[in-house]
Amino acid sequence: MRHNNSPTPALLAGLILTLVTVAAYSWYVTAQISGLRRLQTELTDRYRRDSLQLLRIQSDLNELGLAMRDMVDREERYPLIAWSAQFEGIRLGLEDALAREDAIGLARQTPEQRAYLATSFAQFWNAVDRMFALALAGQEDEARAQVRASLQARQGALSTAVARLLIGNNEGEAQTAQQVQDIYGDVQRQAYWFLAATLTVIVMTSLYLIRSNRRLFARLATLSDERRNLAQTLIATRESTLREIARELHDELGQILTAIGSMVGRAGAHLPEASHVRGELREIGDVAQTALDSVRGLSQTLHPSILEELGLASTVDWYLSTVKSQLGLDVTLETTGSVVPVDADRAIHVYRVLQEALSNVARHAGRSRATARLRFSPATLVLEIEDAGQGLDLRTAPRGLGLVTMRERAALLGGTIAFLRTGEGGLLVRLSVPL
């Protein structure tokens, strides 16, 4: 039964959700900041321009006030009509400033205030026109009296109204600054909330990933143990089977062939020396002896009984002497250190690694020569098989049982096995076994 416990779908969903959330929040923050910039740019600029026009109006009103003071307070009085040109210039400037200020339309004025300002200016200029009409008619005293009684008061009221508008603009700028600060505060709070939520999602995802990884690694460890146990069982079963087959070949078939040779020899001894039957029996005996030698050689190949009799070093030496005929390889053996006895149960695995490594050399190296090394020390046995050919590329090599079996045998012995590239481009197999 197949179990699909992969965390990938959940992690992918969490990643997509996180990315969507980040994108949405980024769009929101960008929109907020863009709106804030527009608000700052538009309102601040319009307040500034409106304040400039109001200051211009206030300056013109102050100029009117100074002119009217000179008209009534100077000891050497000039005819009032002489100020008509100055008043006309100020009037044009005020009308232009008022028109510009009204076009901006951002001053904090109610409709009543706007109506009052327009009416006050209209009444002021009507009074100015009447004052100059009286002066033109030669009624200087009446005209100056009107300046004192009406025009100066109206000018003061207009200056006060404009000053209030300036104060209102200052208040508006302060409110705009407060709005900006509020928006900044909202964005900052939301950023903190988003950061907290993102960190929460990351922590939850990490915990889920850790939990899933622990489960997966536990499952992998279990599967690895099961695979190693199965491999070791298969290896043990194989060695047991080969041992039984080798014993049957050596004992049963070998004894039969030995008996056949003996019987043929005895039968030939009863025949005359010149008999052609005796020659044929001798040929049969030679064939039986050849078959017996082949059976014994095959028995030793399947499970070398000389491991128990002569030890690992002698068995390796014997096997390498047969490799030329079996695999077509010339193998040089180098033995260093004092030979240490190795028990047969461990020695058979070293022997099988040697067999598999030389088989790989014959199949993949493209050379007919190789070197085998046995290094003995009191605590460790090292077996090396090196070829100077093209070697076996472990990245592209088929995943056969040979390499897996060599690794499992090394694990059974509690040792290590390494597959290394040599300077000549060949492959070096190094098995290290604790004794």
Mean pLDDT of 37-53: 75
- The span from the CA of 331 to the CA of 107, in Å, is 104
Range in 72-76, 174-178, 291-295, 374-378 with the lowest mean pLDDT: 72-76
pLDDT of 2 higher than 50: no
For 8-208, which CATH class? mainly alpha
User: Which distant-in-sequence residues (6+ apart) come within 8 Å of 389 by Cβ?
Assistant: 361, 364, 365, 366, 367, 425, 426, 427
Domain spanning 305-434 has what CATH number?
3.30.565.10
Average pLDDT, the chain: 79
pTM of the predicted model as reported, rounded to 2 decimal places? 0.49
**What is the tens place of the pLDDT at every residue in 124-140?**
899 999 988 988 888 88
**What is the tens place of the pLDDT at every residue in 176-230?**
777 777 877 777 787 788 778 878 878 887 788 788 888 888 888 888 777 777 7
Write the Ramachandran bin of 391: left for phi over 0, alpha for psi from -120 to 50, otherwise beta.
Answer: left
Q: Residue 7 corresponds to which tokens in the numbers above?
A: 């965390």
Any idea what DSSP says for residue 146? H
**What is the tens place of the pLDDT at every residue in 266-290?**
777 777 776 777 777 777 878 877 8
In terms of C-beta density within 10 A (0-12 exposed, 13-18 middle, 19 or more buried), how is residue 267 classed? Answer: middle
Q: What is the pLDDT of residue 5?
A: 58
- The span from the CA of 191 to the CA of 327, in Å, is 74
Beta-sheet pairing, 369-376 with 380-387: antiparallel
Residue in 252, 183, 233 with CA at minimum distance from that of residue 28: 183
Q: What is the pLDDT of residue 77?
A: 65
Give the rounded percent of residues in the chain with a pLDDT score beyond 90. 2
Q: What is the pLDDT of residue 383?
A: 92
**Domain assignments of the chain as residue spans, ordered by start:** 8-208, 305-434
**What is the tens place of the pLDDT at every residue in 312-342?**
888 888 888 888 777 778 888 888 888 888 8
| CB atoms near residue 363 (< 10 Å) | 11
Confidence label for 414 from pLDDT (cuts 50, 70 and 90): confident
